[in-house]
Homo-oligomer: A and B are copies of this chain.
């Protein structure tokens, strides 16, 4: 650990290494544990060094949010039937979101990430809807509803629910079932019975 750097010497950071370290830190310490200073320490670097690779903390988190969405499994809209495809994509999104509980409130606060991966998901959803004959404003409406529902449900699932003692802690299997039910109701309404 005797690697004391003096001004001018480089640490070899990349945008990628910064994002990756931030991702790990987020998983280990949660959102509250993700500070620029903590990240800098983790990287063995002065706090402000990060600003050479990322504009600010907000931008960093934004990219993190989009990066997580890379794990969502996206069906091919040409070979998949609309209802089934949408169930798959939303369920996969839901699962991925559950893997990152601390991020979920952020998705909602920023309303769903804006990066390339989010774009990809949106495009596929759009294609699936079009395949089922849902286009134009109705498609936008439907997509919005599905996204909100999915993120929202993930938010509700990522901690003790609002009922403190009313019934048992409510296992994750049960929540997944709830999610699937509501999702199917929505899809039935969107695609027509």
Contact = CB atoms under 8 A, between A and B. Distances in A.
A152 interface: yes
Interface of A: 104-105, 108-109, 111-114, 118, 122, 137, 140-141, 144-145, 147-149, 151-153, 155-156, 159-164, 166-167, 177-178, 181-182, 184-186, 188-190, 193
A165 B181 CA distance: 33
Q: What copy number does this chain have within its complex?
A: 2
B156 A111 contact: yes
Nearest to A106: B105
Contact of A112 (B145, B147, B162, B177): B162
Interface centre among A114, A145, A153 (most CB of B within 10 A): A145
A149 B149 contact: yes
